[in-house]
Structure 1
Amino acid sequence: MKKIILILEFIAALINFAFLIKIDPMFSICVLIFSSVLLFGVSEKDSDKINAHLMVGGGLLFLLSIFSILYSISKLELPEPSYYLTIIMGLCGLLQAIFYRKRFK
């Protein structure tokens, strides 16, 4: 189940990257690099390492959503729909990071 979550989040990040590459290339590269943490988690076999990738990947997606919100505030206009996808991914990432952080205690 954890690997399915990692794969789904990585696919969502790739879709977001594809939509953002023409609008904001630098932000789209950040999306691709931060989502690579999720991709590397798929290759792990140890449950603790998979949990760590889920936790760190969720935190990075939340960081991306904060960047997206700050970008839309600085422009004072409604952002592209791909930025909304980034915000949704970030909120899911925050919940995911909190959930998997509890497994390390």
Structure 2
Amino acid sequence: MRNMHPADELAMIRTDIRRLREREDYLRKGFLSLRLQTQGVDAVATVKIVKNRRLCQHKLPAHLLDDPDLWETQVIRHVHIDEVRHPAAHIPMWADQMATCDLIEPT
């Protein structure tokens, strides 16, 4: 693995996580719809039904929703990553790895 800036590494990790979440979503939907087999070599996927209670805020009277004593502000620190736009063309990560290779073409 090449030495990279921590911001670039975090961006790469988040790209991997996004790809893995998309794959997880595809598999989850396949198990829920019974399109995929649930028995694997090392694991079994089991579909379970879980029930929980939640408050329906939209059904509460307005005087409760407007009461500041019933609300609290939560502050979360979040690290956001933006891709740097270089004036030159973006060089793919694999191109940097190929720079250490010799290219031999048939004559």
Same fold (TM over 0.5): no
Q: Give the TM-score normalised by the residue count of structure 1.
A: 0.35
Q: Give the TM-score normalised by the residue count of structure 2.
A: 0.34
Higher relative contact order (CA 8 A, sep 6+): 1
In terms of fraction of residues, the more helix-rich structure is 1
Look at both structures and tell me which one has the larger radius of gyration over its CA atoms. Answer: 2
